[in-house]
Structures are given as structure tokens and as C-alpha cells.
Structure 1
């Protein structure tokens, strides 16, 4: 099992004989691939960990947001939120496909995106 340490600026992953330190800004999204979570970085690096999505979500900074039951996204990479045929999607830079947003998560994502975009220039 992987060992994780969450600090104020990064997540440190101890994996077999390697140690990875990922700054939160480098993480684009975290998705489920049971029984693992897949951390995807801006360099398209994918790291697999064993931990629940809800637990990881509690430990991440506020600019990360649950998008649906299987995805947490870094909203600093979000550039488009749109509705299409009654479904909601958010697009992230460096990702080819948009993520579907559950109805339960849509208000939180919209509010956080507006807050982040409003405060980017500060």
C-alpha cells in the first residue's frame, strides 16, 4: 500500500523505492480506477494510489472540487463550464475531454470557479 503525506504545498507519495513530491498546482485531476485513484499531472504523469476519493478530497486545498462520484478536479485549470442537453461539463486545460459534473456538485463548482477567476488577478 502506498504511503501519502499531505503538506500545505504538496502531496508526498512513498512508493516502493521511490519518493514523489507533487505540488498541488501540478495536479490537474484525481479519478477513480478501482481499487486505485489516479493522480494526473500537467505533464500527463499518472500516479496510482490506494485511498478513498472522499478522504483525499478532505486533505486537498479549496481550489480542488468534487466533480462527480469518481472525479476531483483542480479548478485553477478550469476554463469552461457549460450545459449540453441537460448535462453539465467542465473543461480543464491540458485535458482533451471535459468532465461531466453531477447535479449534486454543479452549484459548488460554479461558485468556486467564479471565486477563483475573480481573485486570480489579486
Structure 2
């Protein structure tokens, strides 16, 4: 019997992702996200580009869905925090993809949609 959410762990645990599209966000070219999964718990760190350091914490919500809270310190010295809901998929080459709907909770207003692609090992 397959353990619930094990596919998400296989697709995310100890993997790195780059921004594919995030026109309304702060992360962009040069920002790398590094995910860790333990059971249904998710954590990650991210940095690069306009991000000095950032963290995410969240949980698995379905067979291919997650929700996260995030915060970061930008290279301009701003502290930002927000929420996101994401879907995990795969591209035609088999690399893991992440797509999110997100919004700011502190430090900025608005939100948007973003997508990310797994970096080669």
C-alpha cells in the first residue's frame, strides 16, 4: 500500500528549484529554493537574486497540493511575509514543476501566480 502523499516527498525532498515565472513577486532569476519533507511537513530555504535569505514552512494538503507560509529578507533590507497554495506536476522531460497562487501578509500588498522548475542534480 502506498503511503499517502509519498509522491510529493519523492518530488520535493532535498530538491532545488529555480523561478520559471514570477512577474509580481520578489524571487526571480538567481533565486534557488531548497525543499525538505518529513511526513506531511514541508520546510525550505531560499536565497539569491533580490532575496538575502528566506524560509518556508507548510504542509501537504492532497496528492499533488501543498500550502506554505513564507518570509524573507530582501537585499534592500525589507522583511516580507506571505502565504501560498501550490500544485506539484512534471514537465515533458520529467522534471518536477511547482505552480502557486500567493499573496502578501506583511511588508507588501497584492499577490499573484508563480511557477518553478526543478534544477538538475
TM interval, short-chain normalised? under 0.3
Structure-2-length-normalised TM-score:
0.27
Higher helix share: 1
- Rg (Cα) greater in structure: 1
Q: More strand per residue: 1 or 2?
A: 2
